Structure 1
Amino acid sequence: MTDTSTPSALKSLCVYCGSSTGRIEAYADAARALAATMVARGIRLVYGGASLGIMGVVADEVLRLGGEAVGVIPESLMRKELAHAGLTEMHVTPSMHARKTLMAELADGFVALPGGIGTFEEIFEVWTWGQLGFHRKPCGLLNVAGYYDSLIAFLDHAADEQFVRAEHRAMAVVESDPAALLDRFAAYQPPALPKWVGRGET
């Protein structure tokens, strides 16, 4: 996937999140708050297409409020993740790689709500694509109830230890409030120069 244009407006947001609702209700509450903020700003949801967990919560709230929700799910997970039957659009892909590529193509920005290993992998991959200059779209974490505090501290440690450049660390937008996150996405400016392989980091 290569898209070096910078979106003129945030029209579609890819949301990565868990197929579980997590331990506390604050995670689902934040998903609903993000959905409400997106619908109020006319931003379409792009997500993994499931009806379970935080994934289902954010999609249900977008639809309840009259917004558009687009799901992307691989054939192999149609049953396991219980594909959402009421979406505006549903794309079924032949593989997980094709799923992630299509989600990236459909979105103008990427945000991770609380989730598990799959959520971590997805946001880190798309952030890496931005670091390499394959796209110029914002990436961020909605840090609900301190969920990502330890991860943020580790990212800062990686930057301090000079395995991540400061400008690439700054590409990951972190906010606890959905409106503040989307405001920063709207003002996002990617680094002037992408990271090139062989300059000392991976």
Structure 2
Amino acid sequence: MKAITMKIVPVLSALAFATVLVPYAHAGCGQYRPASFNASSQHQFSSPYLLRASFPGEDEATTIVGTWKEHWISEGSSGIPDGTEIDAGYAQWHSDGTEINVSGLRSPLTGDVCLGEWKRTGARSYQLNHFGVSYDSTGVNLVGPARIQQWLTLDEKGNATSGKFTIDQWDESGTLLAHIQGTVTGTRVTMETGFEKVE
């Protein structure tokens, strides 16, 4: 009898311990499903989980995401007088960090669409890196890739941008054909936006 009692006591102790812990394992988890554990899933338990840090004074409601009317003005470009309008058109910045730009001053034959990636660099500052494919005036002969970069600041109300741009045009062999730089300004397009000249 003493031997049976000695075997039962540890079993009852383990059951009591499990009964105390079970309610806490499911607290607040109505859809709780224990994860299967195997060698291939061990990394799930050791990988760090990182959250995006907010910039000081950052307002999530003020963002560059949306559609913009832009003007690009040459400043300090070799062979191009300061104040010359290089381009004007529309850009759309997406919440996933991608961007698309449609030129209003380049013919579609020569390549008028650029695709890019952007990142936030401060409370209201952004950097853009995007590329277009350029053709000659016939629209038949490929010139090469054009890299366009922008460094923008969003105003406090989130309705205007201003900053700098560079354009580097290469041929297919990697020879730099042209470098243009200047200032760029943008105005947010909203549901209330009406007619505006492209230039």
Shorter-chain TM-score range: under 0.3
Name the larger-Rg structure: 2
Higher strand share: 2
Higher helix share goes to which structure? 1
Name the structure, 1 or 2, with higher relative contact order (CA <8 Å, separation 6+): 1
Return the TM-score normalized by structure 2: 0.24
Q: How high is the TM-score relative to the length of structure 1?
A: 0.24
